[in-house]
Amino acid sequence: MSKLEDIVSLCKRRGFIFPGSDIYGGMAGTWDFGPLGTTLKRKIMDEWWRYFVESREDMYGVDAAIIMNPRTWVASGHLATFADPLVECKECKSRFRADKIASGITESVTTEEFLDTHTKCPVCGKENWGPIRKFNMMFTTHVGAVLPDDDAETANKNLTYLRPETAQGIFTNYKNIVDTIYPDLPFGLAQQGKAFRNEISPRDYILRDRECSQMEIEYFVAPNAWEDGFETMRALQHDFLENVMHLPADKLHEYEVPAEDRAHYSKRTIDFMFDYPNGEEELMGLAYRTDFDLQNIARESGKSMDYRDKVTNEVFVPHVIEPSIGVERLMLAVLSMAYTEDEVNGEKRIVLKLPENLAPYRFCVSPLLKNKPELVEKARGVYQMLREKYVNVTWDDSGNIGKRYRKQDEIGTPKCIVIDFDTLEDDTVTIRDRDTTEQVRVKISEL
């Protein structure tokens, strides 16, 4: 397994991921994606959308606003319960999420349980802690004109939050979907988009950050059919992760979350854990949310969330199965499995063995020598042809051919195509394989 610091170094060196606001010294828990990282991230999201939405007849997409009416977070329970256990060191005043610095405890830890672990402060090394306090992770903001000298009552009228999950944008549009297209049950609503969580101590690179992208489905089922729906979604997650994202099955583990650690809306949750370079961490979650959200929306809005079954004419509020995955967590899992170090001709080589469907570029086209106009012209013709056919194709004529190969290996390009003097004679090119380094001659017309 690769080391996290090696992945971080490669991603910055080759333009995948940069620290957020790096030019000003950074902003903890935020990350910017460069050209290659943006393409990889987009491909992951596109594959998910194709698999769960475009290839199915029972899935529909929504794209809800990031800033929502604050009553949303009252109804959802986030205002009251979306909190992590915060503990402060009395010596150096550093603050941490208690369950992440002590072993053998969960996020429902009490002050007494935490103190019994005799955990030392990661900053100053002392053991002098204050009480556990619940810290709500939602970012606050104001909508409309709020001035610094406004009183608290005026300011609170304009107070709202950046969404901590994309799910509520789906739930608040459930009635709109039912009223407009009246889909057959079961059906799912899917959304991709930004979510914001004011993490106490963001860590582990892009695994736990304050701004992330989520991909979530709310799959609406009849109340008595939730178990079948849950198992169906469970199998689909494995298929997607293993056969589309190409993550090894032996690196994926299911964790049945106990009742005391489940989210407030969940009656059953399975966390899909992955063996990251820094250890086993949560990759995604699959939750049975019952009718919690729709019933709360009905109560808060005064509007019915009933669904009338087209066959039985039975009226009920649907129950919900929710697969939820963070794009950055999935991206890190893909990168950690792709990062490889080997040896070619006695020299160390770093190669990113990304699956072909996820690699930022499918091909790299090069003239053998960039100072030979006839080679460059021919190579440009091949490059344009492949761009029109495959889109994700790059051009490289910098340095010698060996250095080009090493660069393309590091960014994960599966095939390098080189136009040489033989190409001018017989219209064949050299194709070099990223993983095996083997080279073959192929007709341009066969590319």
236 within some domain: yes
Q: Is 407 found in the same domain as 322?
A: no
pTM for the full predicted model:
0.90
Cβ(55)–Cβ(182) below 8 Å: no
β pairing state of 211-221 and 279-290: unpaired
Q: Which pair of structure tokens corresponds to residue 16?
A: 């995948």
> Are 207 and 60 within one domain?
yes
Q: Are residues 200 and 321 in the same domain?
A: yes
Domain extent for 409: 361-446
Q: Considering only CA atoms, which of 333, 23, 324 is closest in space to residue 206?
A: 333
CATH number, domain containing residue 264: 3.30.930.10
Does one domain contain both 296 and 383?
Answer: no
What is the pLDDT, as a whole number, of residue 1? 64
3-state secondary structure of 190: strand
Task: Establish if 231 belongs to a structural domain.
Answer: yes
Task: Output the pLDDT for position 439.
Answer: 94
Q: Catalogue the E-assigned strands of 229-362.
A: 252-256, 268-276, 279-290, 307-308, 315-316, 319-326, 339-344, 347-352
Q: What's the Cα-to-Cα distance from 100 to each of 86, 115, 131, 203, rounded to whole Å?
A: 10, 14, 16, 10
Q: Count the helix, strand and coil residues of the chain and give each as a percent rounded to the nearest 5.
A: 35, 30, 35
- The answer to whether residues 255 and 269 touch, using CB atoms and an 8 Å cutoff, is no
The reply to whether 202 and 331 lie within a common domain is yes
Positive or negative: CA dihedral 166, 168, 169, 171: positive
Residues 61 and 179 in one domain: yes
Q: Is residue 72 part of a domain?
A: no
Domain count, the chain: 2
Residues 313 and 394 in one domain: no
Collapsed DSSP state (helix, strand, coil) of residue 173: coil
Domain with residue 401: its CATH number is 3.40.50.800
Q: CA-CA distance, 213 to 327, in Å (whole number)?
A: 5
Q: Do residues 187 and 283 both lie within one domain?
A: yes
Measured between alpha carbons, how far is 371 from 375 in angstroms, rounded to an integer? 8
Query: Is 180 contained in some domain?
Result: yes
Q: Number of C-alpha atoms within 13 angstroms, CB side, residue 4?
A: 13
Q: What is the pLDDT of residues 148-178, one digit of tens each?
A: 667 677 767 788 889 999 999 999 999 999 9
Residue 148 forms part of a structural domain: no
Boundary of a domain, candidates 318, 335, 352: 335
DSSP 250: G
pLDDT of residue 146: 73
Where does a domain end: 297, 318, 335?
A: 335
DSSP string, 204-243: TGGGB-SEEEEEEEEEEE-GGGHHHHHHHHHHHHHHIIII
Rounded CA gap, 70 and 156, in Å? 11
Both 199 and 276 in one domain: the answer is yes
Of 317, 335, 353, at which residue does a domain stop? 335
Instruction: Give me 137's structure tokens.
Output: 């992770």
User: Is there a single domain that holds both residue 233 and residue 369?
Assistant: no
- Assess if residue 74 is contained within a domain: no
pLDDT tens per residue across span 81-116: 777 889 999 989 888 888 888 888 887 888 989 999
Residues 242 and 292 reside in one and the same domain: yes
Q: Is position 146 within any domain?
A: no
Q: Is residue 391 part of a domain?
A: yes
Positions in the chain whose pLDDT score sits under 70:
1, 147-149, 151, 155
User: Are 165 and 281 contained in the same domain?
Assistant: yes
Let me know: does 368 contact 309? Beta carbons within 8 Å: no
